[in-house]
A and B are shown apart, each in its own frame.
Chain A
């Protein structure tokens, strides 16, 4: 049998990539929590398998369903960030904004949140007060109310100080059907601001890397900005907030679900100098770094300019930019036109982006 050609090998690789994921690990590792391939495999092979239902299967950031005359959006998110307090925010603010944003990006008006706290024995009450005050302030800013909650305490060592879960409900008043599988060739890909602020801030705040900067987390509620996008482009296909796994992960999810190519222009991607500097030192790509107050949107190409202008008119949307477009081929892939003039793939990460020395 003759040796396969490069193209045949790549086709074989593609077929393997499209196979149903399986989880063969014996134990959970940190990769499973990073938002990349390992997370996706876990969700699809374990959770979707077990819970099978049509509301879950689209795997959007929120579940959308009808109750009586109302279209509701429902979501949940857990927050385990360390350190709890960091430049630009704290775990409480994240917990509110994160869930608000998962609702907002479906086009819903976020209404009510629940808050479940798991506290470690010995956790200072003063810290708890600060966190709860942050949550209250964030809820007010986002126009939502925390209407129910729960508190548990576990023994020292069983939880890293404080874990928070928030679930949220919102109502879809607009007639929008945003979906990760709705992208079309010709669409523009837009990001609402500079990428990587939150993830780099957290990495630096942990202190182990010895790098200091003035960076702050970008945590913020996105409801207003989403509203601006939908007004400027009622035919918007898709909006998702960029959390773990960064912009790269969202573009991959979009490319795969819509079976299109997403082509990014490296020179157009907004990155703060400090984020870029830290990322260069560590050998990390800002496109994979978590944000907490940014979204990626796919809008019809002809509305791109209007959307960006609308975003930039808002204090939160200063760095908004078109970063790429959707093409028909090759389906399922994200490509980057590099600043240098070449092309490379932007694949989904396996696990967390790890600093490298090589």
Chain B
């Protein structure tokens, strides 16, 4: 149900609805009919599951999520430093 892996489209297939997707240096033909309405191109990232692309990966949203997480991390580091400084002082 759940094993979906991000992969990069590296080529469009010779048959309509197919594309070659690369994950960490290995390639597999993937059926992109379920995401094709948005127009799939080399360089796009998709979520693959049992040989089908189920969704496009929104790189902007990924960035936002990571930023949010990193800010949490930064705030935590700041607090730790403040705590250490207040102990030292």
Contacts and interface: CB of A to CB of B under 8 A. Distances in A.
Interface of A: 204, 209-215, 272-274, 276-278, 280-281, 283, 356-358
Contact of B25 (A209, A210, A277): A277
Interface stretch (B44-52, B61-69, B71-79): B44-52
A284 to B, nearest CB: 11
B3 A356 contact: yes
Contacts of B3: 283, 356-358
A210 B5 contact: no
A236 to B, nearest CB: 34
A211 B26 CA distance: 7
Interface residues of B, number: 17
Given A283-B3, A357-B3, A357-B50, A274 B29 contact: no
Given A280-B5, A357-B3, A358-B2, A210 B51 contact: yes
B25 A214 contact: yes
Considering residues A214, A272, A357, which has the most beta carbons from chain B within 10 angstroms of its beta carbon?
A: A357
Classify the interface of chain B: helix, strand, loop or mixed: strand
Given A357-B3, A357-B50, A358-B2, A281 B25 contact: no
A353 to B, nearest CB: 14
Contact of A281 (B1, B2, B26, B29): B26
B23 interface: yes
B48 A281 contact: yes
Contacts of A281: 5, 7, 23, 26, 28, 48
B24 A280 contact: yes
A280 B3 CA distance: 9
Interface of B: 1-3, 5, 7, 22-29, 48-51
Contacts of A274: 24-26
A158 B2 CA distance: 40
Contact of A210 (B1, B2, B23, B29): B29
A357 B7 CA distance: 16
Given A212-B28, A277-B22, A280-B24, 5 more contacts: A214-B25, A278-B24, A281-B7, A281-B23, A358-B1
Contacts of B51: 210
A278 B2 CA distance: 17
A357 B25 CA distance: 20
23 contacts: A210-B28, A210-B29, A210-B51, A211-B26, A211-B27, A212-B26, A212-B27, A212-B28, A213-B26, A213-B27, A273-B24, A274-B24, A274-B25, A274-B26, A277-B22, A277-B24, A277-B25, A278-B24, A281-B28, A281-B48, A357-B50, A358-B1, A358-B3
Considering residues B7, B27, B51, which has the most beta carbons from chain A within 10 angstroms of its beta carbon?
A: B27
Contacts of A357: 1, 3, 49-50
A213 B25 CA distance: 7
